[in-house]
Amino acid sequence: MNQDIVIYGNDIANLMVYIHESGHALDLGGAYTNDGSYLSSSDDWLKYYNQDSKVVDSYAKINQLENVAQNHIVSSYNLNVPGGFGAFKSGWEQISHQYTLLDQRQHTKTSGDKLKPGYACGKRVKNDEIIRFPSTWTSRIMKKSAEGEKPNVDLASGLEVIPSVEFDTRDFCGRYRAAHQHQAA
Protein backbone atom coordinates (compact mmCIF):
# COMPACT_ATOMS: atom_id res chain seq x y z
CA MET A 1 0.00 0.00 0.00
CA ASN A 2 1.32 3.45 -0.80
CA GLN A 3 0.25 7.00 -0.03
CA ASP A 4 -1.51 7.63 -3.34
CA ILE A 5 -4.67 9.67 -3.24
CA VAL A 6 -7.00 8.76 -6.07
CA ILE A 7 -9.50 11.44 -7.06
CA TYR A 8 -12.42 10.74 -9.39
CA GLY A 9 -14.45 13.53 -10.90
CA ASN A 10 -14.21 17.22 -10.22
CA ASP A 11 -16.69 17.73 -7.42
CA ILE A 12 -15.67 20.97 -5.71
CA ALA A 13 -17.63 19.94 -2.61
CA ASN A 14 -14.89 17.41 -1.88
CA LEU A 15 -12.02 19.87 -2.22
CA MET A 16 -11.48 20.10 1.53
CA VAL A 17 -11.38 16.30 1.77
CA TYR A 18 -8.75 16.18 -1.00
CA ILE A 19 -6.63 18.79 0.74
CA HIS A 20 -7.03 17.01 4.10
CA GLU A 21 -6.01 13.64 2.65
CA SER A 22 -3.12 15.24 0.77
CA GLY A 23 -2.07 16.69 4.12
CA HIS A 24 -1.88 13.16 5.54
CA ALA A 25 0.23 12.03 2.58
CA LEU A 26 2.64 14.95 3.03
CA ASP A 27 2.84 14.50 6.80
CA LEU A 28 3.20 10.69 6.74
CA GLY A 29 5.56 10.92 3.79
CA GLY A 30 7.94 13.08 5.82
CA ALA A 31 7.67 16.06 3.47
CA TYR A 32 8.01 18.63 6.25
CA THR A 33 10.98 17.34 8.22
CA ASN A 34 14.63 16.93 7.33
CA ASP A 35 14.76 13.33 8.52
CA GLY A 36 11.51 12.12 6.93
CA SER A 37 9.66 11.81 10.23
CA TYR A 38 6.06 12.94 10.75
CA LEU A 39 5.49 16.62 11.46
CA SER A 40 2.42 15.67 13.52
CA SER A 41 4.57 13.86 16.09
CA SER A 42 7.46 16.34 16.12
CA ASP A 43 8.52 18.60 18.95
CA ASP A 44 8.33 21.52 16.48
CA TRP A 45 4.65 20.88 15.78
CA LEU A 46 3.83 20.59 19.47
CA LYS A 47 5.73 23.81 20.20
CA TYR A 48 3.61 25.71 17.66
CA TYR A 49 0.42 23.93 18.72
CA ASN A 50 1.02 24.86 22.38
CA GLN A 51 1.24 28.55 21.45
CA ASP A 52 -2.36 28.54 20.19
CA SER A 53 -5.52 28.54 22.28
CA LYS A 54 -7.72 26.65 19.76
CA VAL A 55 -7.61 24.09 16.97
CA VAL A 56 -9.19 24.39 13.53
CA ASP A 57 -12.36 22.40 14.30
CA SER A 58 -13.70 19.47 16.30
CA TYR A 59 -12.16 16.92 13.93
CA ALA A 60 -8.70 18.37 14.64
CA LYS A 61 -9.28 17.52 18.32
CA ILE A 62 -9.06 13.78 17.60
CA ASN A 63 -5.25 13.74 17.60
CA GLN A 64 -2.30 15.64 16.17
CA LEU A 65 -2.33 13.55 12.98
CA GLU A 66 -5.83 14.85 12.16
CA ASN A 67 -4.96 18.31 13.44
CA VAL A 68 -2.08 18.62 10.97
CA ALA A 69 -4.30 17.36 8.12
CA GLN A 70 -7.06 19.85 8.98
CA ASN A 71 -4.51 22.66 9.14
CA HIS A 72 -3.58 21.89 5.53
CA ILE A 73 -7.01 23.21 4.56
CA VAL A 74 -6.44 26.48 6.43
CA SER A 75 -2.86 26.83 5.21
CA SER A 76 -3.93 26.21 1.60
CA TYR A 77 -6.53 28.96 1.94
CA ASN A 78 -4.04 31.26 3.65
CA LEU A 79 -1.44 30.80 0.89
CA ASN A 80 -3.76 30.99 -2.12
CA VAL A 81 -6.55 33.46 -1.37
CA PRO A 82 -5.77 37.19 -1.40
CA GLY A 83 -5.73 38.51 2.15
CA GLY A 84 -5.19 35.02 3.55
CA PHE A 85 -7.15 33.26 6.26
CA GLY A 86 -7.16 36.31 8.53
CA ALA A 87 -9.30 38.27 6.05
CA PHE A 88 -11.87 35.48 6.04
CA LYS A 89 -12.18 34.33 9.63
CA SER A 90 -12.25 36.30 12.86
CA GLY A 91 -10.30 34.67 15.66
CA TRP A 92 -7.68 33.44 13.19
CA GLU A 93 -4.92 34.34 15.64
CA GLN A 94 -6.13 31.56 17.98
CA ILE A 95 -4.82 28.93 15.53
CA SER A 96 -2.24 30.96 13.60
CA HIS A 97 0.89 29.25 14.90
CA GLN A 98 -0.28 25.86 13.68
CA TYR A 99 -1.13 26.81 10.11
CA THR A 100 1.77 29.24 9.70
CA LEU A 101 4.19 26.42 10.52
CA LEU A 102 2.72 24.58 7.52
CA ASP A 103 2.93 27.80 5.47
CA GLN A 104 6.65 27.91 6.24
CA ARG A 105 7.40 24.19 5.83
CA GLN A 106 5.49 23.69 2.58
CA HIS A 107 8.02 25.72 0.58
CA THR A 108 11.36 24.22 -0.39
CA LYS A 109 14.02 25.57 -2.70
CA THR A 110 14.17 22.34 -4.69
CA SER A 111 10.50 21.48 -5.10
CA GLY A 112 8.65 24.78 -4.78
CA ASP A 113 5.41 25.32 -2.94
CA LYS A 114 3.61 22.10 -2.04
CA LEU A 115 0.30 23.82 -1.25
CA LYS A 116 0.12 26.10 -4.28
CA PRO A 117 -1.11 25.37 -7.81
CA GLY A 118 1.55 23.98 -10.09
CA TYR A 119 3.45 21.94 -7.50
CA ALA A 120 4.48 18.54 -8.80
CA CYS A 121 6.24 15.93 -6.74
CA GLY A 122 9.17 14.32 -8.51
CA LYS A 123 9.00 11.05 -6.58
CA ARG A 124 6.49 8.32 -6.03
CA VAL A 125 6.24 4.69 -5.09
CA LYS A 126 5.81 1.90 -7.62
CA ASN A 127 2.21 1.15 -8.55
CA ASP A 128 0.31 -1.53 -6.69
CA GLU A 129 -1.22 -4.38 -8.64
CA ILE A 130 -4.47 -3.47 -10.39
CA ILE A 131 -7.54 -4.91 -8.68
CA ARG A 132 -10.25 -6.36 -10.91
CA PHE A 133 -13.81 -5.99 -9.66
CA PRO A 134 -16.61 -8.53 -10.24
CA SER A 135 -18.70 -7.82 -13.34
CA THR A 136 -21.82 -7.66 -11.16
CA TRP A 137 -20.67 -4.41 -9.58
CA THR A 138 -22.48 -1.41 -10.98
CA SER A 139 -19.94 1.38 -11.21
CA ARG A 140 -18.91 2.37 -14.74
CA ILE A 141 -15.26 2.26 -13.68
CA MET A 142 -15.71 -1.12 -12.00
CA LYS A 143 -17.45 -2.56 -15.08
CA LYS A 144 -14.53 -1.51 -17.28
CA SER A 145 -12.17 -3.22 -14.85
CA ALA A 146 -14.19 -6.44 -14.94
CA GLU A 147 -14.32 -6.33 -18.75
CA GLY A 148 -10.54 -6.32 -18.93
CA GLU A 149 -9.76 -2.67 -19.63
CA LYS A 150 -6.84 -1.66 -17.45
CA PRO A 151 -6.32 1.97 -16.49
CA ASN A 152 -3.06 3.58 -17.54
CA VAL A 153 -1.09 3.93 -14.33
CA ASP A 154 2.37 4.22 -15.85
CA LEU A 155 4.83 6.50 -14.12
CA ALA A 156 5.27 9.85 -15.79
CA SER A 157 8.70 10.39 -17.27
CA GLY A 158 11.29 11.84 -14.95
CA LEU A 159 9.78 10.53 -11.71
CA GLU A 160 12.05 8.83 -9.23
CA VAL A 161 10.65 5.57 -7.87
CA ILE A 162 11.04 5.37 -4.10
CA PRO A 163 10.73 2.20 -2.01
CA SER A 164 7.30 1.22 -0.76
CA VAL A 165 6.75 0.88 2.95
CA GLU A 166 4.37 -1.69 4.35
CA PHE A 167 1.71 0.34 6.08
CA ASP A 168 -1.41 -0.86 7.86
CA THR A 169 -3.59 2.00 9.07
CA ARG A 170 -5.07 -0.14 11.85
CA ASP A 171 -1.62 -0.78 13.25
CA PHE A 172 -0.43 2.78 12.67
CA CYS A 173 -3.42 4.47 14.31
CA GLY A 174 -3.14 2.28 17.40
CA ARG A 175 0.58 2.95 17.77
CA TYR A 176 0.06 6.65 17.08
CA ARG A 177 -2.61 7.00 19.76
CA ALA A 178 -0.51 5.12 22.31
CA ALA A 179 2.62 7.14 21.57
CA HIS A 180 0.93 10.55 21.37
CA GLN A 181 -1.48 11.01 24.22
CA HIS A 182 -1.07 14.79 23.84
CA GLN A 183 -4.55 15.54 22.46
CA ALA A 184 -5.77 18.77 20.93
CA ALA A 185 -7.59 20.83 23.55
DSSP state of 39: G
From CA 86, how far away is CA 27, in angstroms rounded? 24
Residue 69: φ, ψ to 5°: -60, -40
Provide the 3-class DSSP secondary structure of residue 76: helix
> Which one, of 110, 130, 129, lies nearest residue 120 by Cα?
110
pLDDT digits (tens, 9 = 90+) for 102-148: 888 887 655 567 777 766 666 666 666 666 656 565 555 555 555 55
Enumerate residues 6+ apart whose C-beta is below 8 A from 46: 64, 182
- Most confident option among 12-21, 48-57, 128-137, 154-163: 48-57
What is the average pLDDT score of the chain? 75
User: pLDDT category, 184, cuts 50, 70, 90?
Assistant: very low
Q: Which long-range contacts (CB under 8 A, 24 or more apart) does 22-27 make?
A: 22/72, 23/68, 23/69, 23/70, 23/71, 23/72, 23/73, 24/65, 24/69, 26/72, 26/106, 26/114, 27/65, 27/68, 27/69
Provide the 3-class DSSP secondary structure of residue 166: coil
- Cα distances from 109 to residues 29, 52, 157, 179, in angstroms, run 18, 28, 22, 33
Q: For residue 160, which amino acid is it?
A: E
